[in-house]
A and B are shown apart, each in its own frame.
Chain A
Amino acid sequence: MSPAVTLATTRRILTQLRHDPRTVVLLLVMPSLLMLLLRYVFNSERQFSGLAPALLGIFPFTIMFLITSVTTLRERTSATLERLMTMPVGKLDLLFGYAAAFGLLAAAQVSLATAVSVWWLGLDVAGSVWVLLLVALLDALLGTALGLFVSAFATTEFQAIQFMPVVVLPQFLLCGLLTPRDEMGWLLNGISDVLPLSYAVDALTQVTRSAEVDGTLARNMLIVAGCALLALVLGAATLRRRTP
């Protein structure tokens, strides 16, 4: 591990993004626009406040998953990854570099969406807005880490995009947003217990409903962070210096 290489990688990815302003604008504005749409679909602040917290985590999770898997795949297929693997680069340097770059982007995205939701759309947050931001950021990082991991199993960008419904939609359906998790059948409830997004949504819901920062909240946040870290380490294991 070398912090200098990690930092250089982060800077490189952010520079690449700077040359692609359209992507940056889409990334920053999309979640906020979706929140706005959601608010007026319900046309009621109360109903909006029920769903909004979970979506503040799910939108960045999904978007970060998509862009990370496509960007990493591009690095794999364009042979720049192979070139880097011939250089004194640790696999984790690369992955943490990626995670930091997309994490920064996610932080901007989530801050904007949260600000719009809280100050404009009337989302009522009982707990601290900062904790809400932190949880949403963890969700985005989880999406980034899963995207990095899953990109190892795709050989084309087309395949990478197909992984979105595979990885994201089941978690979306089972995370407790549509039906509370404890009202699901034992099997679905069991599955939702091992999916990280469930804990993210639990944490987000708790922050908006109560001001109390208790053990459950901390545990849920730790689980999300742990899953993100695990996906990153698994992603590192899929990088190979020698290929057939």
Chain B
Amino acid sequence: MPHWGTPRHPVPLTAKLNARRIKRMVNSAVSVEGLRVVRGGREVVRDVSCRIAAGTVTGLLGPSGCGKTTLMRAIVGVQIVAGGTVTVFGRPAGSPALRRTIGYATQNPAIYPDLTVREALRYFASVLRFPPSDVDRVIAEVDLADHAGALIGRLSGGQRSRANLAVALLGTPELLILDEPTVGLDPVLRDELWALFGRLAARGATLLVSSHVMDEAARCDRLLLMREGRLLTDDTPGGLRERTGADDLERAFLHLITEEAAR
């Protein structure tokens, strides 16, 4: 439990709660309150509330179709929502002021197949008004220096998804929303990318990374588990193991899911 200190003078309870809320708002990069999203007549995100602390790596986990991508889209501000609020750095999600501070990589590469890696990145860098020198830095960060001059359409799936990730790294985004960035990558590269995520968080960036690989969950500071549009849990990996009495996270999640089903 976070400890906010004892006020010197007794304060009315509501004011105390408000102060607490404000303090948490300041500390959290993203705050989601009662988010509901309806797509094609189906409620795909059901009353989700969560906070993502600044400077942390948060894992968003859950089976395919559980609403992970929709929640991420709502945080980026490209999703039409049916209810609730999403606040990013104190502003409503999708505010024009946030457009240079959020790096977003979709699961399916959103990058021009008929450009080379460098050409595509140079375009996005100029749209974001970041210097062209940034392009070589992000290419190195995703380990694509050998393919910088190759057409994206001719790259392998894993290389293409790294090129896609590189776009999100342009500039120094304070918030990175990465949808399954490590799918189809070999273990060495996955390890390198997670090390990169750790470095970015150490530098002060906030990361929300979706994944369905449990060994990646262990590398997060905090985990959000979604299932059928609901947020099942919001805990640290250690806390989760402790609470469920399971050693590995895969079992911990199974435990939570059966617990939820029993309710």
Contacts and interface: CB of A to CB of B under 8 A. Distances in A.
Interface of A: 4-5, 8-9, 11-12, 15-16, 19-20, 78-80, 82-89, 241-244
A12 B124 CA distance: 10
Nearest to A81: B110
B94 to A, nearest CB: 7
10 contacts: A12-B112, A12-B119, A16-B112, A78-B112, A83-B110, A86-B102, A86-B104, A87-B100, A241-B94, A244-B40
A242 B80 CA distance: 6
Interface residues of B, number: 31
A85 B127 CA distance: 11
B115 A15 contact: yes
B78 A82 contact: yes
Residue of A4, A9, A12, A243 with most chain B CB atoms under a 10 A cut-off = A12
B79 A20 contact: no
Contact of A88 (B40, B96, B115, B116): B96
A16 B115 contact: yes
B111 interface: yes
B127 A19 contact: no
A34 B214 CA distance: 61
Given A9-B123, A78-B112, A242-B77, 15 more contacts: A4-B126, A5-B126, A9-B127, A15-B119, A16-B115, A19-B115, A80-B110, A82-B106, A82-B110, A83-B106, A83-B111, A86-B102, A87-B124, A243-B80, A244-B39
Nearest to B82: A244
B128 interface: yes
Contacts of B128: 87-88
B98 to A, nearest CB: 9
Given A86-B77, A242-B94, A79 B106 contact: yes
- Per CB-CB distance, the 6 closest pairs between chain A and chain B, nearest first, are A79-B110, A8-B126, A83-B110, A12-B123, A88-B99, A16-B114
